[in-house]
Protein backbone atom coordinates (compact mmCIF):
# COMPACT_ATOMS: atom_id res chain seq x y z
CA UNK A 1 0.00 0.00 0.00
CA UNK A 2 2.79 2.44 0.89
CA UNK A 3 4.47 1.99 -2.51
CA UNK A 4 1.32 2.46 -4.61
CA UNK A 5 1.55 5.28 -7.15
CA UNK A 6 -0.14 8.43 -5.82
CA UNK A 7 -1.11 11.70 -7.46
CA UNK A 8 -0.26 14.93 -5.65
CA UNK A 9 -1.15 18.50 -6.59
CA UNK A 10 -0.63 22.03 -5.30
CA UNK A 11 -3.24 24.26 -6.95
CA UNK A 12 -3.08 28.05 -6.90
CA UNK A 13 -5.01 30.68 -8.77
CA UNK A 14 -2.48 30.81 -11.61
CA UNK A 15 -0.67 27.47 -11.70
CA UNK A 16 -1.28 23.87 -10.68
CA UNK A 17 1.78 21.81 -9.74
CA UNK A 18 1.38 18.05 -10.18
CA UNK A 19 3.58 15.10 -9.21
CA UNK A 20 3.45 11.34 -8.92
CA UNK A 21 4.84 9.55 -5.90
CA UNK A 22 5.80 5.91 -5.51
CA UNK A 23 8.15 6.17 -2.53
CA UNK A 24 9.61 9.05 -0.55
CA UNK A 25 10.48 11.29 -3.48
CA UNK A 26 8.43 12.91 -6.24
CA UNK A 27 8.43 11.85 -9.88
CA UNK A 28 7.53 13.82 -12.98
CA UNK A 29 6.75 17.21 -11.42
CA UNK A 30 4.97 19.43 -13.93
CA UNK A 31 3.41 22.88 -13.67
CA UNK A 32 0.24 23.52 -15.69
CA UNK A 33 -1.41 26.90 -16.21
CA UNK A 34 -4.89 26.83 -14.65
CA UNK A 35 -6.25 29.09 -17.41
CA UNK A 36 -5.50 26.38 -20.00
CA UNK A 37 -8.10 24.00 -18.55
CA UNK A 38 -11.82 24.58 -17.97
CA UNK A 39 -11.93 22.32 -14.89
CA UNK A 40 -9.57 20.85 -12.32
CA UNK A 41 -10.60 17.38 -13.48
CA UNK A 42 -9.43 18.13 -17.02
CA UNK A 43 -6.11 19.45 -15.72
CA UNK A 44 -5.65 16.24 -13.71
CA UNK A 45 -6.42 14.07 -16.75
CA UNK A 46 -4.08 16.12 -18.93
CA UNK A 47 -1.23 15.69 -16.48
CA UNK A 48 -1.81 11.96 -16.08
CA UNK A 49 -2.01 11.57 -19.87
CA UNK A 50 1.34 13.31 -20.28
CA UNK A 51 2.86 11.19 -17.49
CA UNK A 52 1.61 8.01 -19.18
CA UNK A 53 3.19 9.19 -22.42
CA UNK A 54 6.49 9.42 -20.57
CA UNK A 55 6.26 5.78 -19.54
CA UNK A 56 4.81 6.15 -16.04
CA UNK A 57 1.96 3.89 -14.90
CA UNK A 58 -0.41 6.83 -14.43
CA UNK A 59 -3.49 4.67 -14.98
CA UNK A 60 -2.65 2.78 -11.76
CA UNK A 61 -3.27 5.82 -9.53
CA UNK A 62 -5.96 5.13 -6.92
CA UNK A 63 -5.06 7.68 -4.25
CA UNK A 64 -4.70 11.44 -4.75
CA UNK A 65 -4.35 14.57 -2.64
CA UNK A 66 -4.78 18.20 -3.66
CA UNK A 67 -3.63 21.26 -1.75
CA UNK A 68 -5.67 24.23 -2.97
CA UNK A 69 -5.48 27.97 -2.33
CA UNK A 70 -8.95 28.15 -0.84
CA UNK A 71 -10.82 27.30 2.37
CA UNK A 72 -11.94 23.64 2.28
CA UNK A 73 -14.84 23.21 4.69
CA UNK A 74 -17.45 21.19 2.81
CA UNK A 75 -17.69 18.87 -0.19
CA UNK A 76 -18.12 21.83 -2.57
CA UNK A 77 -14.98 23.86 -3.31
CA UNK A 78 -15.27 27.10 -5.31
CA UNK A 79 -11.96 28.88 -5.78
CA UNK A 80 -11.95 32.56 -4.85
CA UNK A 81 -9.05 33.45 -7.19
CA UNK A 82 -9.99 31.25 -10.18
CA UNK A 83 -13.17 29.95 -11.78
CA UNK A 84 -12.73 26.27 -10.91
CA UNK A 85 -15.56 24.86 -8.79
CA UNK A 86 -16.09 21.20 -7.97
CA UNK A 87 -17.52 18.57 -5.64
CA UNK A 88 -14.75 16.54 -3.99
CA UNK A 89 -16.81 13.34 -4.07
CA UNK A 90 -17.91 13.83 -7.68
CA UNK A 91 -14.31 14.50 -8.72
CA UNK A 92 -13.16 11.37 -6.90
CA UNK A 93 -15.68 9.23 -8.78
CA UNK A 94 -14.95 10.96 -12.08
CA UNK A 95 -11.23 10.23 -11.73
CA UNK A 96 -11.80 6.62 -10.61
CA UNK A 97 -10.01 7.12 -7.29
CA UNK A 98 -10.35 5.23 -4.02
CA UNK A 99 -9.14 8.27 -2.07
CA UNK A 100 -9.26 11.97 -2.93
CA UNK A 101 -8.09 14.30 -0.17
CA UNK A 102 -8.53 18.05 -0.73
CA UNK A 103 -7.01 20.42 1.83
CA UNK A 104 -6.12 24.09 2.22
CA UNK A 105 -2.74 24.82 0.66
CA UNK A 106 -1.34 26.50 3.76
CA UNK A 107 -2.35 23.57 5.94
CA UNK A 108 -0.41 21.38 3.50
CA UNK A 109 2.56 23.74 3.61
CA UNK A 110 2.46 23.64 7.41
CA UNK A 111 2.40 19.83 7.34
CA UNK A 112 5.63 19.88 5.32
CA UNK A 113 7.57 21.63 8.06
CA UNK A 114 8.41 18.61 10.26
CA UNK A 115 9.61 16.82 7.09
CA UNK A 116 11.80 19.55 5.57
CA UNK A 117 15.45 18.65 5.04
CA UNK A 118 18.12 21.00 6.38
CA UNK A 119 18.87 22.19 2.85
CA UNK A 120 15.19 23.10 2.38
CA UNK A 121 15.33 26.00 4.83
CA UNK A 122 17.51 29.00 5.72
CA UNK A 123 17.91 30.17 9.30
CA UNK A 124 17.25 33.85 9.98
CA UNK A 125 18.70 34.93 13.35
CA UNK A 126 19.24 32.86 16.47
CA UNK A 127 17.17 30.55 18.63
CA UNK A 128 17.04 26.80 19.22
CA UNK A 129 14.13 24.67 18.04
CA UNK A 130 12.61 22.28 20.56
CA UNK A 131 11.53 18.85 19.41
CA UNK A 132 7.86 17.81 19.35
CA UNK A 133 6.60 21.34 19.99
CA UNK A 134 4.21 23.47 17.90
CA UNK A 135 5.65 24.95 14.71
CA UNK A 136 4.33 28.20 13.23
CA UNK A 137 4.02 29.34 9.61
CA UNK A 138 3.41 32.67 7.90
CA UNK A 139 3.63 33.39 4.19
CA UNK A 140 3.06 36.63 2.29
CA UNK A 141 2.24 36.28 -1.40
CA UNK A 142 -0.94 37.16 -3.27
CA UNK A 143 -2.48 37.14 0.22
CA UNK A 144 -1.15 36.29 3.68
CA UNK A 145 -1.28 32.68 4.80
CA UNK A 146 -0.99 31.74 8.47
CA UNK A 147 -0.92 28.20 9.82
CA UNK A 148 0.99 25.80 12.03
CA UNK A 149 1.35 22.18 13.05
CA UNK A 150 0.76 20.67 16.48
CA UNK A 151 2.32 17.39 17.63
CA UNK A 152 -0.15 14.68 18.63
CA UNK A 153 1.74 11.59 19.73
CA UNK A 154 3.51 10.24 16.65
CA UNK A 155 1.40 12.38 14.31
CA UNK A 156 1.23 16.05 13.39
CA UNK A 157 -2.01 17.98 13.02
CA UNK A 158 -2.11 20.97 10.68
CA UNK A 159 -4.14 24.07 11.53
CA UNK A 160 -6.30 25.56 8.78
CA UNK A 161 -7.39 29.11 9.56
CA UNK A 162 -7.56 32.67 8.23
CA UNK A 163 -5.01 34.33 10.50
CA UNK A 164 -3.88 36.66 7.73
CA UNK A 165 -7.07 38.67 8.27
CA UNK A 166 -6.37 39.64 11.89
CA UNK A 167 -6.40 43.39 12.50
CA UNK A 168 -3.10 45.14 11.73
CA UNK A 169 -1.47 46.77 14.75
CA UNK A 170 1.23 49.38 14.04
CA UNK A 171 4.46 49.37 16.05
CA UNK A 172 6.09 52.61 14.85
CA UNK A 173 4.95 56.15 14.10
CA UNK A 174 5.45 55.51 10.39
CA UNK A 175 3.17 52.48 10.60
CA UNK A 176 0.56 54.56 12.43
CA UNK A 177 0.65 56.98 9.47
CA UNK A 178 0.25 54.07 7.03
CA UNK A 179 -2.71 52.77 9.02
CA UNK A 180 -4.36 56.20 9.06
CA UNK A 181 -3.92 56.50 5.28
CA UNK A 182 -5.51 53.07 4.72
CA UNK A 183 -8.39 53.57 7.15
CA UNK A 184 -9.90 56.08 4.79
CA UNK A 185 -9.63 53.63 1.89
CA UNK A 186 -10.64 50.34 3.53
CA UNK A 187 -12.05 50.82 7.02
CA UNK A 188 -10.76 47.59 8.56
CA UNK A 189 -7.06 47.11 7.82
CA UNK A 190 -5.88 43.53 8.16
CA UNK A 191 -2.34 42.19 8.37
CA UNK A 192 -2.85 40.79 4.86
CA UNK A 193 -3.62 44.29 3.57
CA UNK A 194 0.05 45.12 4.17
CA UNK A 195 1.77 41.73 4.06
CA UNK A 196 1.05 40.78 0.45
CA UNK A 197 1.89 41.91 -3.06
CA UNK A 198 -0.86 44.49 -2.76
CA UNK A 199 0.55 45.43 0.64
CA UNK A 200 3.90 46.39 -0.84
CA UNK A 201 2.06 48.65 -3.27
CA UNK A 202 -0.02 50.23 -0.50
CA UNK A 203 2.99 50.87 1.75
CA UNK A 204 4.77 52.54 -1.17
CA UNK A 205 1.65 54.61 -1.94
CA UNK A 206 1.33 55.69 1.70
CA UNK A 207 4.95 56.89 1.67
CA UNK A 208 4.99 58.57 -1.75
CA UNK A 209 1.42 59.04 -2.99
CA UNK A 210 2.50 57.18 -6.15
CA UNK A 211 1.23 53.87 -7.55
CA UNK A 212 3.91 51.29 -8.37
CA UNK A 213 3.43 47.54 -8.79
CA UNK A 214 5.01 45.06 -6.40
CA UNK A 215 7.61 43.61 -8.82
CA UNK A 216 8.86 47.11 -9.58
CA UNK A 217 9.11 47.90 -5.87
CA UNK A 218 11.06 44.77 -4.96
CA UNK A 219 13.17 45.05 -8.11
CA UNK A 220 14.03 48.66 -7.31
CA UNK A 221 15.00 47.75 -3.76
CA UNK A 222 17.13 44.77 -4.81
CA UNK A 223 18.92 46.76 -7.52
CA UNK A 224 19.39 49.81 -5.32
CA UNK A 225 17.31 52.00 -7.59
CA UNK A 226 15.25 54.27 -5.36
CA UNK A 227 15.24 55.02 -1.65
CA UNK A 228 11.43 54.82 -1.59
CA UNK A 229 11.48 51.20 -2.79
CA UNK A 230 14.13 50.27 -0.23
CA UNK A 231 12.14 51.95 2.55
CA UNK A 232 8.98 50.13 1.45
CA UNK A 233 10.66 46.71 1.53
CA UNK A 234 12.30 47.40 4.89
CA UNK A 235 8.94 48.47 6.35
CA UNK A 236 7.31 45.35 4.92
CA UNK A 237 9.96 43.12 6.54
CA UNK A 238 9.57 44.87 9.90
CA UNK A 239 5.79 44.44 9.89
CA UNK A 240 6.24 40.79 8.92
CA UNK A 241 8.54 40.32 11.92
CA UNK A 242 5.95 41.75 14.30
CA UNK A 243 3.11 39.63 12.90
CA UNK A 244 5.28 36.50 12.83
CA UNK A 245 6.09 37.13 16.50
CA UNK A 246 2.36 37.40 17.23
CA UNK A 247 1.77 34.01 15.56
CA UNK A 248 4.66 32.43 17.46
CA UNK A 249 3.28 33.71 20.76
CA UNK A 250 -0.26 32.57 19.94
CA UNK A 251 0.80 29.04 19.00
CA UNK A 252 3.65 28.71 21.49
CA UNK A 253 5.75 27.85 18.43
CA UNK A 254 8.90 26.79 20.25
CA UNK A 255 9.47 24.22 17.49
CA UNK A 256 10.29 27.13 15.17
CA UNK A 257 8.61 29.81 13.08
CA UNK A 258 8.74 29.45 9.28
CA UNK A 259 8.30 31.97 6.46
CA UNK A 260 6.82 30.78 3.16
CA UNK A 261 4.96 32.47 0.33
CA UNK A 262 6.24 33.92 -2.91
CA UNK A 263 7.57 37.34 -1.85
CA UNK A 264 10.25 36.87 0.80
CA UNK A 265 12.45 34.32 -1.06
CA UNK A 266 12.94 36.92 -3.82
CA UNK A 267 14.34 39.52 -1.41
CA UNK A 268 17.60 37.69 -0.68
CA UNK A 269 19.98 39.65 1.55
CA UNK A 270 17.47 42.49 1.93
CA UNK A 271 15.37 40.19 4.10
CA UNK A 272 18.28 38.61 5.95
CA UNK A 273 19.66 42.08 6.81
CA UNK A 274 16.28 43.67 7.55
CA UNK A 275 14.64 44.43 10.89
CA UNK A 276 12.55 41.23 10.61
CA UNK A 277 14.31 39.31 13.37
CA UNK A 278 14.59 42.29 15.72
CA UNK A 279 10.90 43.02 15.31
CA UNK A 280 10.07 39.32 15.77
CA UNK A 281 11.74 39.40 19.18
CA UNK A 282 10.47 42.85 20.21
CA UNK A 283 7.63 41.83 22.54
CA UNK A 284 8.44 43.61 25.77
CA UNK A 285 8.48 41.23 28.73
CA UNK A 286 8.18 38.25 26.37
CA UNK A 287 11.20 39.23 24.26
CA UNK A 288 13.45 36.57 25.89
CA UNK A 289 10.81 33.95 25.02
CA UNK A 290 10.81 35.01 21.35
CA UNK A 291 14.61 35.19 21.25
CA UNK A 292 14.72 31.44 21.95
CA UNK A 293 12.47 30.62 18.95
CA UNK A 294 14.35 30.12 15.66
CA UNK A 295 12.98 31.56 12.43
CA UNK A 296 13.49 29.90 9.05
CA UNK A 297 12.86 30.87 5.45
CA UNK A 298 11.51 27.93 3.42
CA UNK A 299 13.74 27.43 0.38
CA UNK A 300 12.49 24.04 -0.88
CA UNK A 301 10.90 24.46 -4.32
CA UNK A 302 7.70 22.43 -3.81
CA UNK A 303 7.15 22.13 -0.04
CA UNK A 304 3.33 21.90 -0.23
CA UNK A 305 3.67 18.66 -2.21
CA UNK A 306 5.68 17.18 0.65
CA UNK A 307 3.04 18.29 3.15
CA UNK A 308 0.05 17.04 1.21
CA UNK A 309 1.88 13.73 0.70
CA UNK A 310 2.16 13.34 4.49
CA UNK A 311 -1.53 14.16 4.89
CA UNK A 312 -2.51 11.61 2.25
CA UNK A 313 -0.38 8.90 3.85
CA UNK A 314 -2.10 9.59 7.17
CA UNK A 315 -5.54 9.48 5.54
CA UNK A 316 -4.83 6.16 3.80
CA UNK A 317 -3.51 4.66 7.04
CA UNK A 318 -6.58 5.81 8.97
CA UNK A 319 -8.91 4.43 6.30
CA UNK A 320 -7.05 1.11 6.41
CA UNK A 321 -7.41 0.90 10.19
CA UNK A 322 -11.12 1.73 9.97
CA UNK A 323 -11.68 -0.94 7.30
CA UNK A 324 -10.15 -3.60 9.55
CA UNK A 325 -12.34 -2.77 12.55
Task: Evaluate if residue 2 carries a pLDDT over 70.
Answer: no
Q: From CA 222, how far away is CA 266, in angstroms rounded?
A: 9
Please tell me whether residues 34 and 165 are part of one structural domain: no
pLDDT band at 36 (very low <50, low <70, confident <90, very high): very high
pLDDT band at 233 (very low <50, low <70, confident <90, very high): very high
The answer to whether residue 232 is domain-embedded is yes
Q: What residues make up the domain containing 58? A: 6-104
Q: From CA 138, how far away is CA 242, in angstroms rounded?
A: 11
Q: Quick check: 283 and 245 in contact, CB under 8 A? A: yes
The CATH number of residue 98's host domain is 3.30.420.40
Task: Give the predicted TM-score (pTM) of the model.
Answer: 0.86
The answer to whether residue 228 is domain-embedded is yes
The answer to whether residue 315 is domain-embedded is no
Q: From CA 181, how far away is CA 199, in angstroms rounded?
A: 13
- Report the SS3 class of residue 228: helix
Identify the pLDDT of residue 180: 94
Please tell me whether residues 137 and 282 are part of one structural domain: yes
Domain count, the chain: 2
Identify the pLDDT of residue 317: 85
Please tell me whether residues 134 and 84 are part of one structural domain: no
Q: Quick check: 108 and 304 in contact, CB under 8 A? A: yes
Please tell me whether residues 15 and 56 are part of one structural domain: yes
The answer to whether residue 16 is domain-embedded is yes
pLDDT band at 3 (very low <50, low <70, confident <90, very high): low
The answer to whether residue 174 is domain-embedded is yes
The answer to whether residue 323 is domain-embedded is no
Please tell me whether residues 21 and 154 are part of one structural domain: no
pLDDT, tens digit, for every residue of 170-193? Answer: 999 999 999 999 998 899 999 999
The answer to whether residue 112 is domain-embedded is no
Q: From CA 101, how far away is CA 70, in angstroms rounded?
A: 14
> Which stretches does DSSP call E strand in the chain?
6-11, 15-21, 27-33, 63-68, 76-78, 85-87, 99-104, 121-124, 135-140, 144-152, 155-160, 257-259, 295-298
Identify the pLDDT of residue 242: 98
pLDDT band at 275 (very low <50, low <70, confident <90, very high): very high
CA dist list (Å): 65 to 34, 142, 191: 17, 23, 30
Amino acid sequence: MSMALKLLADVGGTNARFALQSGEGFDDIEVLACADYPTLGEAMRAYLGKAAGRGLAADSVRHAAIAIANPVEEDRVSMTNHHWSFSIEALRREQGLDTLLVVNDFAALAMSLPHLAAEGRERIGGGIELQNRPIGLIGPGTGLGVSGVIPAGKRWIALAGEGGHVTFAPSTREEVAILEALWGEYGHVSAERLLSGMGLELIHWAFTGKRLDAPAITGGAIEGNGADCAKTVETFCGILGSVAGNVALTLGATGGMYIGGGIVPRLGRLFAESSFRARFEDKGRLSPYLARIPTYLITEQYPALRGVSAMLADRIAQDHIAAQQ
